[in-house]
Amino acid sequence: NAGVTQTPKFRVLKTGQSMTLLCAQDMNHEYMYWYRQDPGMGLRLIHYSVGEGTTAKGEVPDGYNVSRLKKQNFLLGLESAAPSQTSVYFCASSYMAYEQYFGPGTRLTVT
């Protein structure tokens, strides 16, 4: 059981470039989430999904898009990266609204 995995672990982008972060879970969880963690700001929810084919906005959705084509995968896209998106991104999943399990994170730097 790998739990929640994230790809890639590190990435450096130039302003305006695009990329996709991949989250995968093998716990058959319905709910999946994307958070960003910034110093002094704590973790903030970007987008979440309560099932395959459904997504919803969280606290800080601007500049990001998501897709949940398969139950086990949740993709986070940055169409035109900005320095303000430099952060550590965490994916999480849960069985319904219960305990959330987090992945190891992706450290993204936008120059």
Partner 1 sequence: KQEVTQIPAALSVPEGENLVLNCSFTDSAIYNLQWFRQDPGKGLTSLLLIQSSQREQTSGRLNASLDKSSGRSTLYIAASQPGDSATYLCAVKTDSSYKLIFGSGTRLLVRP
Which positions touch partner 1 (CB under 8 A)? 4, 31, 33, 40-45, 48, 50, 58-59, 90, 92, 97-105
- Smallest distance from partner 1 to CB 111, Å: 20
Q: The tokens of 96 are what? A: 């319904």
Among residues 5, 61, 13, 11, which one has the least CA distance to residue 36?
A: 61
Tokens 């395959």 sit on residue: 52
| Angstrom distance (rounded) from CA 59 to CA 10 | 24
- Smallest distance from partner 1 to CB 6, Å: 8
38 vs 79, beta carbon nearer partner 1: 38
31 vs 110, beta carbon nearer partner 1: 31
2 vs 14, beta carbon nearer partner 1: 2
- Percent helix / strand / coil, the chain, rounded to 5: 5, 55, 40
17 vs 61, beta carbon nearer partner 1: 61
- Smallest distance from partner 1 to CB 100, Å: 6
| Angstrom distance (rounded) from CA 51 to CA 32 | 8
- Smallest distance from partner 1 to CB 65, Å: 18
